[in-house]
Structure 1
Amino acid sequence: MAENVPTKTEVEEPLPRMNAGTQLFEDLDANVSATEVESLCMRCENNGKTKIMLTRIPHFKSIILMSFECPHCGLQNNEVQSGEALQEKGHRYEIQCINKSDLSRQVVRNSSASVSIPEFDFTAPPALNSTLTTIEGLICRFIEDLSMDQEQRKEVVPEMFAAVEALLEKLRNALELPEEDVAEKPKHAFTMVVDDPSGNSYVENLCAPNVDPKLSVHYYRRTREQMIQLGVLNPDAEDIEQIEEQRKAQFNMREEMRAAENVMRAVKEASESNEILTFPANCSSCNLPCDTRMQMVNIPHFQEVIIMSTTCDKCGYKSNEVKCGGAISEKGKRITLVIEDKDDLSRDILKSETSSFKIPELDLDMVAGTLGGRFTTIEGLLRQVHDELDRRVPFLEGDSVALDRRQKFERFLSRLEDAADGNIFPLTITIDDPMAHSYIQNIYAPDPDPNMTTELYERSFEQNEDLGLNDINVDNYAEDATEETKTDNN
């Protein structure tokens, strides 16, 4: 393994400066040019070439690709590093590998991610470098690393040699999965778990844009040990210092809540005077300064919502988002509408960020959080889904994509566009919102809509857990906050 150490005088092209007003990470299909740097080879100590490219994987994150090659000794080294900050929570991906197509899933493995296969009692700790590979590539890498010292183990520790050889046999058999799914679960089927406390790893969804039945994603709060591993906490710090940091964090959180309350108060005052608030922000696409506009709108027969719109004059990026206000509903809400003609496509629809929606006739099933909050028409929502999937679904471009999978996705996009144009009827759209903050316009109001049904249901424990409602304190919270403030002051 060679470290890419640039020399002081032989940089052919200056590296981009990390300014807030500079777009560093370009999309994969934007003809991104690589920066070449003279680097020291750690094998022969001559200078080689390092190519660095800052790019973005659509619908995922910014990454740094680095490739080193030494013309003197032939040493090569490729690395992938995350260009993102730590995510709010850690991610754990669980993939059921049953056939050959599962082995071809592309994987972005961050250097902080561990990989395990429970059926084999095998766990690979975090690696030195991040990698962009496939599940088959990961297994081949594990086989190569474990096989490296087998001859020495056979001579020195025969018991360990036998145990490692048995594991290698299981890993080799894992590569011999059938081409297609079979009635019975294959003998060598396995589950791969990619656990990344930083939240910057990724496993490809082969059923995009729908939910992949073989892939599940779990989000969790990082433990103290994981935060030490990521360098967030100092392991040698005294407990008193740790407690003080926690108190500061809690104080900052309360200050942020007060600031949010002030913003909400300003938005409400502006809505009463029909005023649109404008405040500076950074574009989420190019990171350049832009403006975000905000206004509170009262939806008849529903509630008040906050509409936020961001437009970037530099790169042309546009986005709109809706934040729902009001109290938390005691029950979830499921709305089902049968779309029979073009007039139904013009109905207003509010899809909150906590809601999922599906259209069985189009094989469309979007999980909660997709697209965020949207206030538009049904036609507009279909077109937004089409545009987002067309531009941002990862790993559907390039030579490595299977032709049938690409064609299947293109047929799906074509049907989605036909539905937005009013060429496919009837359609059934279902919005499931555990917070009951979603809405579809009733054109017969105040009378019932014959084509729309609304169902209220009790939220499950898992839904309350995901929404953070199980740990919320609504009793005597004022006294608790006062006591905590007194403790902080002491």
Structure 2
Amino acid sequence: MANTTSTEEEPLPRMNAGTQMFQDLDSNVSATEIESLCMRCEENGSTKIMLTRIPHFKSIIILSFECPHCGFKNNEVQSGESIQEKGQRYELRCTTRADLSRQIVRNSTSSVAIPELEFSAPPATNSMMTTVEGLISRIMEDLEMDQAQRKDIIPEVYEAVEKLLAGMRGALELPEEEEAGRAFTLVLDDPSGNSYVENLCAPLTDPKLKVHYYRRTREQMIQMGMINPDTEDTDQMAEQAKAQLNMREEMKAAETIMRVAKEASESNEILTFPANCSGCNLPCDTRMQMVDIPHFQQVIIMSTTCDQCGYKSNEVKCGGAISEKGKRITLRIEDKEDLSRDILKSETSSFCIPELDLDMVAGTLGGRFTTIEGLLRQVHDELNLRIPFIDGDSAMEERRNKFKSFLDKLESAADGKLFPLHITVDDPMAHSYIQNIYAPDLDPNMTTEVYERTFDQNEELGLNDINVEDYKEDKQDQPMEE
């Protein structure tokens, strides 16, 4: 991008109090034009800047530079959103031509990889909005740029790049229907959480697309400018100190926290302890309170609010030991009274409503303690705000109408205009709960199924390698070979 500097003759417009900086695409947004330096001929060109929002997605900054002297042009798209709470990694399995047309928002902090071709690319210098085919074609153009020089200077690198280019050309020639051996995986990893890969089955789960959320490492936070690498970070010191604790000390600390939290719950006290904000990493306060749900168990409600960046987070954690078996709860909703039932959806639970074609995988919305009506409205709001590419010229009319019909049905269900419904909450940890209004008697409209967890479920929950026997034994006297 050209070196953009505002001049005194054409200053950037000031935003008055209450003025919305990022406006929707359909609100006649005007671009701001400023004089800037062309990096090719070093003459003055012009850069147009527009702050806008993609419907159902996020705020972006669109920049367009043009030099009238040498004709150089350049366009960029930058994210206008704050850094998300967690990083995101998308894994897309491309098997047909339709997958190559999926739209992608690639932030400048994201890396791209194709494991089948043993290819990985570091974060780019700018953000872009493109398709899978466009992203791979852009990578191929960058690789082909210096091939003529490589052929004469380093022929072995030239051969390796040619082999990689051949693999990418084959990847762009996927058939219309799935064929064995004609597929590849595209991995988009963004620590900022501001990238996106289109879900062709929205609002349902896309079987070809997997989304993973993770905590950022210190190296990733340094790359994004969240931490100064030249100063000793308190978080790093805390992590090093925590790594030196043995199992016995960690268990004693956990027992102390649970004991204090239990005493606080008996006196209805809210605990406040210091923490670091997930958005800006500055110190903030986290409030915690234990709540006893009748006929179920104790849960921990945690709330974090940052006064510096305005970040807010609410979590619900279940107390007690890990259940030996999973639990699946199905409730038949017949009237508005059923919509007011309390529901606890843990982080490990998935839930579905077949009548609405709604199927939410584990981890969606995190832990929630609300009512069935409140859960339906939260799902409606999240899908309405966070599913991009439904509006606009690129959206197919069939998908737009299907998604709008789904949102209307979801809203009607939350308003109590659509009965009967069946909601099923499946939790392999058995930490989810739906209120039984007939307790302690059985609820005629509710069925509970207890089942054995599969090996894959235990592996995902980290239970296969957990050691629950003899973990308190002192092993300092054992030989080093062991």
Query: CA–CA distance in 1 between the matches of 2:304 and 2:30?
Result: 29
Q: 1:46 — aligned with what? A: 43
Q: Does 1:100 align with 2:98?
A: yes
The 3-state SS of whatever aligns with 1:305 is: strand
Q: 1:401 — aligned with what? A: 395
* CA positional deviation for 1:250: 2.9
- Give the counterpart of 1:272 among 259, 266, 269: 266
The aligned amino acid for 2:318 is C
Query: CA–CA distance in 1 between the matches of 2:402 and 2:53?
Result: 24
- Give the counterpart of 2:450 among 456, 464, 482: 456
* CA positional deviation for 1:352: 1.3
- Indicate conservation of the 8 Å contact 1:15/1:35, yes or no: no
The 3-state SS of whatever aligns with 1:77 is: strand
- Indicate conservation of the 8 Å contact 2:25/2:53, yes or no: no
Query: CA–CA distance in 2 between the matches of 1:222 and 1:61?
Result: 21
Query: CA–CA distance in 1 between the matches of 2:30 and 2:245?
Result: 41
Q: 2:124 — aligned with what? A: 128
The 3-state SS of whatever aligns with 1:382 is: helix
Higher mean alpha-carbon deviation, 63-72 vs 402-411, is at 63-72
- Give the counterpart of 1:72 among 69, 90, 94: 69
Query: CA–CA distance in 2 between the matches of 1:282 and 1:218?
Result: 22
Higher mean alpha-carbon deviation, 358-367 vs 210-219, is at 210-219
- Indicate conservation of the 8 Å contact 1:282/1:289, yes or no: yes
The aligned amino acid for 2:93 is I
- Indicate conservation of the 8 Å contact 1:329/1:435, yes or no: yes
TM-score, normalized by length of structure 1?
Answer: 0.72
- Give the counterpart of 1:212 among 193, 197, 206: 206
The aligned amino acid for 2:38 is C
Cα deviation, 1:281-304, whole Å, max 9, x if unaligned, reads 999999999998754332111012
The 3-state SS of whatever aligns with 2:384 is: helix
- Indicate conservation of the 8 Å contact 1:117/1:190, yes or no: no
Q: Structure 1: give runs of 5+ residues left out of the alignment.
A: 17-21, 236-242, 484-490
The 3-state SS of whatever aligns with 2:419 is: coil
- Give the counterpart of 1:421 among 412, 415, 424: 415
* CA positional deviation for 1:350: 1.1
* CA positional deviation for 1:5: 5.7
Cα deviation, 1:88-133, whole Å, max 9, x if unaligned, reads 6672513324133542332425455133262xx3625225324332
Alignment of 1:257-268 (within 5 A): 268=262
Specify whether residues 245 and 297 from structure 1 end up closer, same or farther in structure 2 by C-alpha distance, changes over 3 A only: closer
The 3-state SS of whatever aligns with 1:419 is: helix
Specify whether residues 392 and 163 from structure 1 end up closer, same or farther in structure 2 by C-alpha distance, changes over 3 A only: closer
- Indicate conservation of the 8 Å contact 1:173/1:188, yes or no: no
Q: Structure 2: give runs of 5+ residues left out of the alignment.
A: 230-235, 477-482
Alignment of 1:328-477 (within 5 A): 328-472=322-466, 474=468
How many aligned residue pairs are there?
463
Query: CA–CA distance in 2 between the matches of 1:47 and 1:74?
Result: 12
- Indicate conservation of the 8 Å contact 2:332/2:421, yes or no: yes
Query: CA–CA distance in 2 between the matches of 1:13 and 1:61?
Result: 23
- Indicate conservation of the 8 Å contact 2:327/2:426, yes or no: yes
Specify whether residues 352 and 157 from structure 1 end up closer, same or farther in structure 2 by C-alpha distance, changes over 3 A only: closer
Q: 1:239 — aligned with what? A: none
The 3-state SS of whatever aligns with 1:380 is: helix
Identity of aligned residues (%): 65
Query: CA–CA distance in 2 between the matches of 1:29 and 1:42?
Result: 30
Specify whether residues 447 and 86 from structure 1 end up closer, same or farther in structure 2 by C-alpha distance, changes over 3 A only: closer
Higher mean alpha-carbon deviation, 266-275 vs 151-160, is at 151-160
- Indicate conservation of the 8 Å contact 1:90/1:222, yes or no: no
- Indicate conservation of the 8 Å contact 1:333/1:434, yes or no: yes
User: RMSD of aligned C-alpha atoms?
Assistant: 5.4
* CA positional deviation for 1:134: 1.2
